[in-house]
């Protein structure tokens, strides 16, 4: 563990670097279970070191005790590792939330193992953030649980807010709408959708001029493409 090439905290630094890389390249990296476990092990080791150091200390004035610097060093390493671990997980949660919102809160789409719409959405380029293929495999089980609960909480929130019936909370807020209608090309069959002019059966390759509000969610999820 404590060889000349490695010191306490190195592993945590790796973890943080992964978060930074994730931000820099705007991708979700695979959950690094191995590294997290290793750091947790390091934490336990440090804890036992600190305990044995403290037990040697018996009753001396902390100011004069030769063990005090040792204890401080371990303590600092422990705190730093813990912060790094939490920061890593927090960073991932924030990324997942971004992804969740970028597909308009369509959790099943996000978690689907078979990359149906997402793979095409990625090719579209226009909205590359919308669900890169196979997110599920990059998540830890805890993160899947988190997303599910988050989704549930938001749905409760939505039914509690006044705005629900009239305003779609999950619609994008990047650009204000300029036109009422939008010309779309169908990228993926999405079945019969109710619009203001009646039901339309969206088939791949077709083009439609439809009311934006009616199909906004389909555009976000990558079924339709704005022309």
Binding site for another protein (CB under 8 A): 36-37, 40, 43-44, 47, 78-79, 82-83, 85-86, 89-90, 93, 97, 140, 142-143, 145-146, 149-150, 153-154, 156-157, 160-163, 165-169, 171, 173, 176-180, 212-213
Measured from the CB atom, the residue of 58 and 165 that comes closer to another protein is: 165
> How many residues can be counted in the chain?
227
Return all residues near 169 (Cβ < 8 A) that are at least 6 apart: 105, 154, 158, 161, 163
Return all residues near 11 (Cβ < 8 A) that are at least 6 apart: 35, 38, 39, 42, 81
- For residue 116, the minimal CB distance to another protein (Å) is 27
- For residue 18, the minimal CB distance to another protein (Å) is 15
Measured from the CB atom, the residue of 38 and 116 that comes closer to another protein is: 38
Measured from the CB atom, the residue of 88 and 208 that comes closer to another protein is: 88
- For residue 215, the minimal CB distance to another protein (Å) is 13
Measured from the CB atom, the residue of 28 and 115 that comes closer to another protein is: 28
- For residue 24, the minimal CB distance to another protein (Å) is 22
Task: Give the position of tokens 């993926």.
Answer: 188
**Torsion over CA of 25, 42, 76 and 55, rounded to 10 degrees?**
170
Measured from the CB atom, the residue of 187 and 208 that comes closer to another protein is: 208
Decide: 88 and 40 in contact? Cβ < 8 Å: no
- For residue 212, the minimal CB distance to another protein (Å) is 7
């Amino acid at each position: 563990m404590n060889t000349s090439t490695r010191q306490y905290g190195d592993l945590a630094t790796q973890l943080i670097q992964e978060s930074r890389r994730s931000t820099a390249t705007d991708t979700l990296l695979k959950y690094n279970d191995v590294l997290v476990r290793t750091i947790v092990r390091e934490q336990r080791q440090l804890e036992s070191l600190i305990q044995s150091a403290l037990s040697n200390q018996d009753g001396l004035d902390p100011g004069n005790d030769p063990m005090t610097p040792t204890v401080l060093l371990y303590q600092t390493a422990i705190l730093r590792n813990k912060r790094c671990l939490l920061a890593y997980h927090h960073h991932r949660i924030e990324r997942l939330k971004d992804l969740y919102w970028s597909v308009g809160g369509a959790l099943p789409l996000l978690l689907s193992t078979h990359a149906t719409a997402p793979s095409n959405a990625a090719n579209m380029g226009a909205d590359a953030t919308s669900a890169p293929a196979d997110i599920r495999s990059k998540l830890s089980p805890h993160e899947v649980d988190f997303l599910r609960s988050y989704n549930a909480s938001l749905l409760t929130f939505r039914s509690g807010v006044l705005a629900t019936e009239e305003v779609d909370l999950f619609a994008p807020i990047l650009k204000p709408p300029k036109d009422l209608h939008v010309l779309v090309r169908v990228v993926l069959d999405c079945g019969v959708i109710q619009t203001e002019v009646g039901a339309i059966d969206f088939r791949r390759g077709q083009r439609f001029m439809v009311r934006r509000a009616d199909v906004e969610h389909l555009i976000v999820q990558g079924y339709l493409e704005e022309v």
